[in-house]
Amino acid sequence: MATLIDGKAVSARIRGEIRDEVAELAKAGKVPGLAVVLVGEDPASKVYVNNKKKACAEVGFRSFEYLLPATTTNEELLSLIDTLNEDPEVDGILVQLPLPKGLDERAVIERINPAKDVDAFHPDNVGRIMTGQYRFLPCTPAGVMELIHETGTEVCGKNCVVVGRSNIVGKPMAMLLLAENGTVTVCHSRTRDLASVCAGADILVVAVGRAKMVTADMVKPGAVVIDVGMDRDENGKLCGDVDFDSVKEVASAITPVPGGVGPMTIAMLMKNTLTAFKLRRGNK
């Protein structure tokens, strides 16, 4: 039976550490500020934005919220980003994705000042991750690494398999595992014999958006399994990309859904915002 990797507990500890540090900064009259921009009425995005707002309040950040209609033009959105780039009270800028149809997601990401890009999506920050000279790490992959470390697992020398090759999770996840000297395989929709590749993993990270796709026969006994997915099963119940009930009998450690990776993403966003605050003021 696998050990449950409690993302809620790890996240709470990280947020507590940030809160203590911000409390000291507040004595000098300065605290980090995070601007979150939401365009349109996507229900899931609204929930995410609200969670980020709550997290800011918990750790003592200033929170700037911009709720724009779906009719917002590219020019209007880019103009807002320009304003936030110049605002000395704003240390981090996050534009909630996906954007409504008609808006240029790439142009929006590239318009954000890389020093305020706390999602680490800007090409400048992506390049820095590739070379190991990063300011920030993408929130979800960084959270996954924290959870792997929480198990006491050493990544060095391990066979690491990442299922999914998105720019937000899969690709940067591979780079972070590689940075700790893991031997990394990235799988995707064209991978041949996916089950066999997964079954060779000491560390298996799954981020594809397909409910319960990874089953027990695809998991090496004793593997650490990190489930990044957030799906609905045939009964409409929240679940991940991993068939939790069967895989927990094989793995040594596994994240639940919900309560695994999800809380870590927001905790790492808070950590990135604090880092941005420090870097902008010349102290690391």
DSSP annotation of 271 reads H
Rounded Cα gap, residues 181 and 158, in angstroms:
8
Catalytic residue among 96, 116, 117, 202: 96
The values of phi and psi at residue 84, to 5°, are -70, -35
Catalytic residue among 91, 117, 119, 241: 119
Tokens at 147, concatenated: 């959870």
Torsion of CA 83, 84, 89, 94, to 10 degrees: 170
Contact predicate 245/227, CB 8 Å: no
Q: How far is CA 226 from CA 58, 171, 201, 212, in A?
A: 26, 15, 12, 13
Torsion of CA 108, 85, 131, 159, to 10 degrees: -60
**Residue 52 falls in the annotated catalytic set:** yes
Catalytic residue among 52, 116, 212, 271: 52
**Residue 96 falls in the annotated catalytic set:** yes
The values of phi and psi at residue 123, to 5°, are -50, -35
Give first-to-last CA distance, the chain, whole Å: 41
Catalytic residue list: 52, 96, 119
